[in-house]
């Protein structure tokens, strides 16, 4: 299987986190990519945690939040997704089957002193 990549796109320059979700630059995949890798460069500082939401849109107006699924007894339950991280470090999130527009938002919980986050996106096509 071959994979085509688009060079990393900075969607959030390094900045202190806030207690409210702040969106990075909306990504336009041009409908040509179906995979997303988010590279996070995170310094926790005095925060309790970092929270990331990923949302998708076909028209760059109406966004829907990524969902996670749990299955129990033959019933699938969908929940709006949120990625929560504790501890300083660099990491990535890999998301398949993306839509034309992607919005990534981030916030910190706790005291924001000494925190920072930058986010790069890499689009891929399988």
| Cβ proximity of 33 and 49 under 8 Å | no
- Residue spans per domain, the chain: 4-63+79-125
What CA–CA distance (Å, rounded) separates 51 from 71? Answer: 24
- Taken as a whole, the chain contains a residue count of 126
Domain 4-63+79-125 of CATH type 2.60.120.1110: yes
| Predicted pLDDT at 98 | 84
Task: Tell me: pLDDT of 46 over 70.
Answer: yes
- Segment 28-48 mean pLDDT: 93
In this prediction, residue 13 has a pLDDT band, given cuts at 50, 70 and 90, of very high
Task: Tell me: pLDDT of 19 over 90.
Answer: yes
- Phi, psi torsion values for 51, nearest 5 degrees: -125, 135
| Predicted pLDDT at 51 | 96
Task: Tell me: pLDDT of 107 over 60.
Answer: yes
Mean of all residue pLDDT scores within the chain: 92
| Predicted pLDDT at 7 | 79
What CA–CA distance (Å, rounded) separates 68 from 46? Answer: 28
112 or 12, higher pLDDT:
12
- Segment 45-62 mean pLDDT: 95
């Amino acid at each position: 299987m071959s994979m085509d990549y688009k060079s990393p796109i900075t969607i959030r320059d390094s900045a202190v986190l806030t207690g409210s979700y702040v969106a990075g630059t909306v990504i336009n995949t041009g409908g040509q990519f179906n995979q997303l890798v988010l590279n996070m460069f995170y310094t926790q500082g005095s925060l309790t945690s970092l929270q990331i939401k990923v949302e998708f849109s076909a028209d760059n107006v109406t966004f829907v939040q990524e969902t996670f699924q749990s299955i129990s007894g033959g019933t699938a339950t969908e929940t709006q997704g949120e990625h929560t991280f504790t501890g300083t470090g660099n990491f990535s999130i890999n998301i398949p089957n993306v839509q034309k527009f992607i919005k990534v938002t981030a916030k910190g919980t706790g005291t924001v002193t000494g925190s920072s986050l930058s986010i790069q996106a890499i689009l891929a096509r399988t």
